[in-house]
Amino acid sequence: MRVRPQLRPARLVRALTFLATASLLAPIGASASAEPIEVSHTRIVAPSSVGMGHGLDLLGELTIAGQPAVGRDVVFVSRSRSSADWHTVGTARTALGGWATYHVRSMSARTEYGVYYPGIHGVAASSTAAAIVHVIDVTASAPAKVKSGHPVRLSGRLTMDGAGVAAQPLHFMFRHNRHQKWHAASWDRADRRGWARIERRFGRSFQVGVRFEGADGLAPSPLAVQTVRVIQPPKPPKFVFPFQFPGRAMSSGTWTQDQGIDLAYAGNACGSSAGLVAVGDGVVIQTGISGFGSTAPVIRMSSGVFAGRNVYYGHTGRIFVHVGEHVRAGQKIAEVGCGSVGYSASPHLEIGVGVPGGPPCCPSMHQTSGEMLRQLLASL
């Protein structure tokens, strides 16, 4: 009778180890005989810049083993800076030529976009192809309001990703309101900080638009608009009472008529306490009138009820205007003379108006004094 040999414990452990190793090697040998994993590659095409708020189309190309891949989903990603993590923005399926398109609705800051293929069914994932898109913008600067006819400085600044872009032309356009078309274009080239400036005069309120039309590979900017209100000068009053302090005039019951109207400050005030002002806009054509004193001014009126006629101020002392000077309604021009100035017994003013087309001074007795009296009374 033969006795079967018994496996010693050490031999049993070695046998089990051999069987386990053989089972691990079997899949490796099988995979070596399978088809190799195919390599994928992506490429992205994007504009280098777009205008602030504008959209763009990203184009991603997928090739597998060097051939265009149709009907595959590629992933588009973005990030604000190269050191940041990618964020998925969307997927798109490749079509003819292996191209896929993804539309970005609006851009407001510099962005790096990428595209990659995640890999599936024996195709390896691709690396991420990337492209940076910059943002072009223009800001307009103008005063909120200006005086009619005064020079106005208008400015525009061209930026890329917030930094000024130099040496590029900026286009300035104008219109009176948003319902009109832009017109009257002007141009200026940006300085080293991106600023362009022009200066013009306007007679009415308007809008200014500033835009970069695109050049040297940079995308056009959006249109920046500012509204400027033009303030019209107030219309001169028809007639201003000739006393600087009308409330201090003696009552109209004391006034008298001859060539003009004689009136006085209360208490027969004179000098610095009895100032006289222009009754309207005009030009000083004469100082000094026989019988009215050596300083008496005559003004050729250009506004108000006496426009085109001459108004004289008799019995003045110190004056603040000279021949040829333009004066405005209400402007201080003289003072009532102290003592006897010309043919006068006490400090007072005689103011009168000449006849249309007549000499610098003066009208006949009571010829025009009624006209002057009506205006004096109406202006109080």
| Domain count across the chain | 3
361 to each of 302, 324, 350, how far by Cα in Å?
A: 17, 16, 12
pLDDT in tens, 60-109: 999 999 999 999 999 999 999 999 999 999 999 999 999 999 999 999 99
Using the 3D structure, point to which of 231, 257, 282 is the last residue of a domain. Answer: 231
CA angle in degrees (0–180, nearest 5) for 77-78-79:
140
Closest CA to 79 of 88, 70, 91: 88
- Residue 35: the pLDDT is 56
Token digits of residue 3 = 């006795």
Q: Do residues 174 and 294 both lie within one domain? A: no
Using the 3D structure, point to which of 114, 135, 156 is the last residue of a domain. Answer: 135
168 to each of 132, 156, 187, 217, 293, how far by Cα in Å?
A: 22, 11, 10, 11, 67
Using the 3D structure, point to which of 79, 107, 135 is the last residue of a domain. Answer: 135
Average pLDDT over every residue of 47-55: 98
Average pLDDT over every residue of 270-283: 97
Reported confidence tier of residue 180, pLDDT bands at 50, 70, 90 = very high
- Residue 36: the pLDDT is 63
Residue 26 clears pLDDT 70, i.e. is over it: no
Q: How many CB atoms lie within 10 A of CB 25?
A: 10
Q: Do residues 217 and 269 both lie within one domain? A: no
Reported confidence tier of residue 234, pLDDT bands at 50, 70, 90 = confident
Q: Do residues 60 and 151 both lie within one domain? A: no
Q: 290 lies in which domain range?
A: 246-379
CATH of the domain at 369: 2.70.70.10
- Residue 3: the pLDDT is 36
Residue 31 clears pLDDT 80, i.e. is over it: no
CA dist 89 and 108 (Å) reads 15
Reported confidence tier of residue 362, pLDDT bands at 50, 70, 90 = very high
Q: Do residues 92 and 200 both lie within one domain? A: no
Q: Do residues 187 and 299 both lie within one domain? A: no
